[in-house]
Structure 1
């Protein structure tokens, strides 16, 4: 049986060590930039310090999932640095960085869902079409399901590439997870927009307008990142989006960093007054 022709990127300046965990090609489609990796580690570390300080200052324990996501991002970018400087062909480096960078926004999304629930409780339950607790359960569950599918697909892609097999089926699994995630997050955005329209007169009296602008921008940035991952996967492993790191930097790295710093500058613990909370049973 003949071996299928080799497809993918091979770094001319980095000979393949051909170790037991090395793929025949660089799965990224390029050799990751160490500058992006180091920037990721530094910026997320700074964001982690800011969020940790405000978490304890305002005792917003519901927002602690942001710190988990930041920790995941740091680990992911550390492994991108390893791919850049140690071995870009190493499948384990690719899978680990992909796992942590893909999973991290799930924790950011969980914090976003929680903030909307608190805003509904603060402004009034009658301004939302569904109960705040249901928002948390439904959208967090959707994110978990979508992420598990994505990680499963990414792991299978790594296995297929290391064995020089066709990665189309694993890529389709990854695509299904991203499509489900983008759909569920779009529903959340529509729900958030519903709340903004219904409570537009009351909400700015309780919470400042600048917080809603910053929070809305953060939500859009997170969704932009999801849409990028969906378009990248739809193109396949050898598409332009997945083989040029500039797209990763502008549409994965930058939006998530922007969203996290917006949530730090307009932290809900500082912007949402606890004294105005309206506690509801549902």
Structure 2
């Protein structure tokens, strides 16, 4: 029978016996979602979404490690794998989400409607995401060894706060652009309005999911090792696993496969032809 064992002395890696069944269910769900996304990326050549797929792979490996950890609560490696990969996977989802907005703006030929110049839009948010990713990963590396738990928690907290701020700004920028393009639409936007509106709704939905999850993680690490959230496994599955699978499912449902370079070029050609016809009239 499985029992909670200390890793070293009186230091416990786990605050509870991890559920093999729950971890297995989510590992299977992320496998299904990620395999579907791989197929969509190959089919539509939307290779900018590869980072999103890597995030899905991180989730799969993380929950597989949790599933295998029930009888190994005194072994460091399964704990490290699940702790780090599940923590940082959403940062990889975020990178693809940020890239989608820039492609939408170019696709509807509405660079002049963006609050931030499009050439800087993706780099700004992706750089912020990279900072969040690196900070969280380094903090997790310190925390899981048990040598600098409090320092690791504080570093992770800082990375999560960066993630929350970046997502808040992203939603504001996306919302302002969406409002402007609906008020002053371009020809490509009108020609494919249902598609563009659907992608924007998808961006809002996945952004809210990641935002809520990040807030949960901020509270979790702010409360520390003795806090309720880190001591009860159900909170991870409700406020992290479920929300992140929601991100994968929503992204797959409204997959931005029509935003490849060739597709954007076609939209720009459409805009030019529209402009030329306008001048001729």
TM-score, normalised to structure 1, is 0.84
Cα-to-partner distance string for 1:14-41 (whole Å, 9 max, x where unaligned): 152x6xx657444342221112211121
Name the residue aligned to 2:199: 211
Q: Distance in 1 between matches of 2:242 and 2:253?
A: 16
CA contact (8 A) 1:102 1:147 kept: no
Name the residue aligned to 1:240: 228
Unaligned runs of 5+ in 1: 1-11
Change beyond 3 A, Cα 1:145–1:210: closer
Q: Distance in 2 between matches of 1:133 and 1:38?
A: 42
1:95 aligns with 2:80: yes
Match of 1:260 among 231, 242, 248: 248
1:115 aligns with 2:135: no
Name the residue aligned to 1:3: none
Higher helix share: 2
Cα-to-partner distance string for 1:196-230 (whole Å, 9 max, x where unaligned): 11112434653423333233111111111111111
Cα-to-partner distance string for 1:86-107 (whole Å, 9 max, x where unaligned): 3123232222112211221122
Name the residue aligned to 2:139: 153
TM-score, normalised to structure 2, is 0.84
Name the residue aligned to 1:278: 268
Name the residue aligned to 1:191: 173
Query: What is the CA distance between 1:168 and its match in structure 2?
Result: 2.4
Unaligned runs of 5+ in 2: 270-281
1:173 aligns with 2:155: yes
Q: Distance in 2 between matches of 1:261 and 1:65?
A: 16
Cα-to-partner distance string for 1:118-169 (whole Å, 9 max, x where unaligned): 0110121011011223122111111121222222222222223xx5xx7323
- What is the CA RMSD across the aligned residues, in angstroms? 2.3
Q: Distance in 2 between matches of 1:81 and 1:224?
A: 25
CA contact (8 A) 1:22 1:90 kept: no
Change beyond 3 A, Cα 1:24–1:61: same
Match of 1:250 among 235, 238, 245: 238
Q: Distance in 2 between matches of 1:213 and 1:195?
A: 13
Change beyond 3 A, Cα 1:101–1:204: farther
